Amino acid sequence: MTEPAKVATVSLEGKTASLPVHSGTLGPDVLDIRKITADLGVFTFDPGYGETASCTSKITFIDGEKGVLLHRGYPIAQLAEQATFTEVAYLLLNGELPTTAQHDDFVATLNSHTLLHEQIRNFFNGFRRDAHPMAILCGTVGALSAFYHDAIDISNEASRNLSAVRLIAKLPTIAAWAYKYTQGEAFVYPRNDQTYAENFLSMMFAHPSEPYQVNPILARAMDRILILHADHEQNASTSTVRMAGSTGANPFACVAAGIAALWGPAHGGANEAVLKMLAKIGSKDNIPEFIAQVKDKNSGVRLMGFGHRVYKNFDPRAKIMQATCHEVLGELGIKDDPLLDLAVELEKIAISDEYFVKRSLYPNVDFYSGIILKAMGIPTSMFTVLFALARTTGWISQWKEMIEEPGQRISRPRQLYTGSPERDFVPFAKRG
């Protein structure tokens, strides 16, 4: 952290604190409150940490007011349109885009770790066939440390790098096998002659009994989905990974914690909620009534997949995903799916309705990604798994950055206690 250029003076009940003000490369200045308790005898209060910077980071920057998302300084649109997911993964991990040689080495290293230890197959048999794929993913990732304990010394740089590569390489295999298991289908092993996205689609949809050819349009769409979800600054799951990592927990446990946080419908289930909303609307004829209910604050009806907590303007990821959505629908020739027709019609109405435009309730990345995944034949139960697959790269990059930060401390938030004051124990006989 740079030396503060200014200092803010805060006074409370006759006490004064001089708080350093730090400036980042981009974004608002940050008031350093680490000495506020010693100087003023108070804690700060910020439920949800919405106004609190919990760390320094060089990985991702978001300006929600302007609709900006940068990875290591590169705009997300440029990365999604011109780079591959493995290039972005290298960028997030290492800080710079790879040269051709560096990228080839990185992909070769990932390919050498795509296989799972054969005993891990036994884990899948321990789950019920109707288990949610996220339950399988969370449990299996957490168990990886029992098989790959040769490189979980977080104080060793080589071990950290190896664990990072293993997680990025093995997540597609675990995710695809979770799907295959719930479908009662044979597991398909990874193919190292394919790209990251192609390999995942092959493991999802191929069968050992016949050849499978990956559609290049669908592979590119999947690659973009992975890029657009790779990292998103200090969100709930990323903060969970960092908090777990601050205890010294191994990286597999930390990523499993991130998966558990992502599983929450308020975080990772947004694109699934879009399809549930469309199913509830039922048909294009019901859209006007639905829109009217959305505008009625007393109805409790929400327009899912529109607007974003962070972005007060257009979600920068949505523009790329919108184009990709129409590419996929056109490639697959889908013209008679009522749900997808309904989504397209809802999009047209919402982006032209003054009520939504005025409130910046534009379609976000979750609206389009849900439509794309459904069109590709991926069930809604796998949507959050896909999110976790993409976000693992961001999680492990953030984890590495945190571990390597000088002076890193265990996370320990404070609280505003509102319970009973100290009181004496009352024996049974005197409680009435």
Q: Within this chain, do residues 155 and 116 fall inside the same structural domain, yes or no?
A: yes
* pLDDT bracket for residue 3 (50, 70, 90): low
Bigger pLDDT: 313 or 154?
A: 154
Q: Residue 308 catalytic?
A: yes
Residue 65 belongs to some domain of the structure: no
The verdict on residue 116 lying in a domain is: yes
The pTM (predicted TM-score) of the whole model is: 0.90
- Residue 29, domain CATH: 2.20.28.60
Output 314 or 330, whichever has higher pLDDT: 330
Domain-embedded: residue 259: yes
Q: Among this protein's residues, is 366 annotated catalytic?
A: yes
Q: How many structural domains does the chain have? A: 2
Residues 6 or more apart from 412 whose CB is under 8 A from it?
Answer: none
Whether 28 and 142 map to the same domain: the answer is no
Based on the fold, state whether residues 125 and 38 are members of the same structural domain: no
Is the same domain home to 26 and 84? no
On whether both 19 and 95 belong to a single domain, the answer is: no
> Reading across the β-sheet that carries 6-12, which strands appear in turn?
6-12, 15-22, 30-31
Name residue 4's amino acid: P
Burial of 380 (0-12, 13-18, 19+ CB in 10 A): middle
Statement to judge: residues 146 and 35 lie in one domain: no
Alpha helices in 155-269, H assignment, sequence order? 157-183, 196-205, 216-228, 236-245, 251-262
**pLDDT score of 303:** 84
Q: Which domain holds residue 32?
A: 7-53
pLDDT in tens, 338-393: 777 788 788 888 778 888 888 878 788 888 888 899 899 999 999 999 999 999 99
Is 282 in the same domain as 151?
yes
Domain presence at residue 66: no
pLDDT at 228: 96
Closest to 4 (Cα-Cα) out of 25, 20, 26? 20
Q: Are residues 324 and 183 in the same domain?
A: yes
Residue 229 sits in the same domain as residue 287: yes
Identify whether residues 395 and 285 lie together within a single domain: yes
Could you say which of 22, 308, 326, 336 is catalytic? 308
Claim to verify: residue 48 and residue 185 sit in the same structural domain? no
User: Quick check: is 205 in a domain?
Assistant: yes
Q: pLDDT, tens digit, for every residue of 253-263?
A: 999 999 999 99
228 and 164 in a common domain: yes
Q: What is the CATH number of the domain that holds 192?
A: 1.10.580.10
Amino acid letter, 196: Y
